[in-house]
Amino acid sequence: MTAIVEVLTQLLIIFVAAKLGGELFLRLRQPAVIGEILVGIVIGPFALGLIGLPGHELLALFHEDSDAAREGLTLALETVAELGVIVLLFFVGLETRLSDLLRVGLRSLLVAILGVVGPFVGGTLLMLALGYPSIESIFMGTVLVATSVGITARVLRDVGALDSREARIILGAAVFDDIIGLLVLTVVSGIAVSGELQLTRVLWISVLALGFTAVVGGLGAFAVRRLFPPLVERLQIEYAPLVVALALMLALASLAAAIGLAPIVGAFLAGMALAEVRDRYDLHEQALPLYTFLVPFFFVVTGARVDPQLFLRSETLWLALAVTAVAVLTKALGAALGTLGFPFRSMAIVGFGMVPRGEVGLIVASIGLSLGVVERPLFSVAVVMSMLTTLLTPPLLVWLLRPLVAARRAALASSVPVTRSEER
């Protein structure tokens, strides 16, 4: 009972703080998400300490003073936060049709490939140049590979740019990026463990990851169009369309995670498949209350993981800053190169939109730690890199998106206003 009461209080604090932070930043004409992340830093365990995440599974590897008794609390908060980012990407998926993504499909693939090659090569070369052994250097390159698209997706939605061409390229690229990142990790960790390329394992994971994405992404929309209406119309439970939609969201998120992909990739694909029947069943409107309630937990928890002291007391601060610089520049340049021929600003939006590493970098680094490939100081480097890429992106993106948003507002204002009832 006491544990549940404690969790409840923490959820209250997080929710209220998130909304206050969001409100403040909206009044400063900034997207709410920046306020939510900053408020997370402020109330987090490394500043005011109003909420506790010291037992964080990954950070615990770094902060050895973690208290086992608090790990349950941590996992409980992380579960709600994870549901938040899953609902976020599900929601973003609902606003994205497969046809929109296919139109930019090759661009997305190019952005993903170049955005993976850049950081991988850049990170590895930097470490080699600094004299680290080759396997450790390659692993550090791997840590820099994968993008965590939650931050960017939220910024794009907050400023109302989710249906722009740039946003679609980023979303498509994030899916490819996650697949390629998984394959790179499989290859590198396989070599780290056995000293050779485990070809069967790599092939098997390629088949699984590509198969999952191709089948769900390609056939999902078709299957939903054919199967969803007869299914939900036969069910007697309340809100059957929403129920089936949420079940699909959880199922594809779990399946993606079981394969080794990010759960949010599955949630995004579920949303995209359901975009076909979205309007018919009001799914968008029904998902909004879940978005309103759950999404803020993800961003506050993301902020709460930032330990400002790490920047001061880290013995490896210069290395961390160098790695972060490589992580930002190689990803932004690589991804932007994939949109060569676009206006400069669009290239920059796509490039910097792919920069945040969020949890993904930490997860890869912790795998390296558990394999004995990455040493503890290098793990702290990965933590700093993850934090900085996550914190730097939102303000930069907002600044880059300003003209695009202004042009849309102007276009909206000049067109005849359409009221809700007329739409129907």
Nearer of residues 2 and 414 to its own copies, judged by Cβ: 2
Burial 402-414 (b: 16+ CB within 10 A, else e): eebeeebeeeeee
Report the C-alpha gap between 328 and 325 in whole angstroms: 5
Report the C-alpha gap between 44 and 307 in whole angstroms: 9
Secondary structure (DSSP) of 240-257? HHHHHHHHHHHHHHHHHH
Report the C-alpha gap between 9 and 20 in whole angstroms: 16
Q: Minimal distance in Å, beta carbon 169 to its own copies? A: 26
Q: Angle CA(318)–CA(321)–CA(323) in degrees, nearest 5?
A: 110
| From 215, 219, 227, 258, residue interacting with its own copies (rule: CB under 8 A) | 258
| From 106, 251, 407, 412, residue interacting with its own copies (rule: CB under 8 A) | 251
Query: Terminus-to-terminus CA distance in the chain, angstroms?
Result: 49
Q: Minimal distance in Å, beta carbon 289 to its own copies? A: 5
The verdict on 231 binding its own copies (CB under 8 A) reads no
The verdict on 250 binding its own copies (CB under 8 A) reads yes
The verdict on 206 binding its own copies (CB under 8 A) reads no
The verdict on 50 binding its own copies (CB under 8 A) reads no
The verdict on 312 binding its own copies (CB under 8 A) reads no
The verdict on 405 binding its own copies (CB under 8 A) reads no
Question: Which of 368, 335, 387 has its CA nearest to residue 138?
Answer: 368
Task: Name the segment binding its own copies (CB under 8 A); options: 145-153, 214-222, 240-248, 398-406.
Answer: 240-248
Site map for its own copies, 259-288, x if CB under 8 A?
A: ----x----------------------xxx
**Under 8 Å between Cβ of 281 and 232:** yes
The verdict on 79 binding its own copies (CB under 8 A) reads yes
The verdict on 227 binding its own copies (CB under 8 A) reads no
The verdict on 121 binding its own copies (CB under 8 A) reads no
**Under 8 Å between Cβ of 303 and 41:** yes
Burial group, residue 416, by CB count within 10 angstroms (0-12, 13-18, 19+): exposed
Taking 3-state DSSP, the helix, strand and coil percentages for the chain, each rounded to the nearest 5, stand at 80, 0, 20
The verdict on 237 binding its own copies (CB under 8 A) reads yes
Q: Minimal distance in Å, beta carbon 342 to its own copies? A: 30
User: What count of other Cβ atoms lies within 10 Å of the Cβ of residue 79?
Assistant: 12
**Under 8 Å between Cβ of 221 and 275:** yes
| From 7, 42, 392, 396, residue interacting with its own copies (rule: CB under 8 A) | 7
The residues, any chain, with a CB within 8 Å of residue 147's CB and separated by 6 or more, are 115, 173, 174, 177, 178, 181, 331, 354, 355, 356, 357, 360
| From 76, 191, 208, 396, residue interacting with its own copies (rule: CB under 8 A) | 76
Q: Minimal distance in Å, beta carbon 330 to its own copies? A: 25
| From 284, 293, 329, 342, residue interacting with its own copies (rule: CB under 8 A) | 293
Phi, psi of 47 (to 5 degrees): -125, -105
Task: Name the segment binding its own copies (CB under 8 A); options: 65-73, 146-154, 198-206, 317-325.
Answer: 65-73
**Under 8 Å between Cβ of 361 and 382:** yes
Q: Minimal distance in Å, beta carbon 189 to its own copies? A: 14
The verdict on 80 binding its own copies (CB under 8 A) reads yes
Task: Name the segment binding its own copies (CB under 8 A); options: 108-116, 169-177, 179-187, 255-263.
Answer: 255-263
Residue position matching structure tokens 């969803």:
228
Nearer of residues 262 and 350 to its own copies, judged by Cβ: 262
Nearer of residues 42 and 58 to its own copies, judged by Cβ: 58
Binding residues (CB under 8 A) for its own copies: these are 1, 3-5, 7-9, 11-12, 15-16, 19, 22-23, 26-27, 32, 57-58, 68, 71-76, 78-80, 82-83, 86, 235-239, 242-243, 246-247, 250-251, 253-254, 257-258, 263, 286-290, 292-293, 359, 363, 366
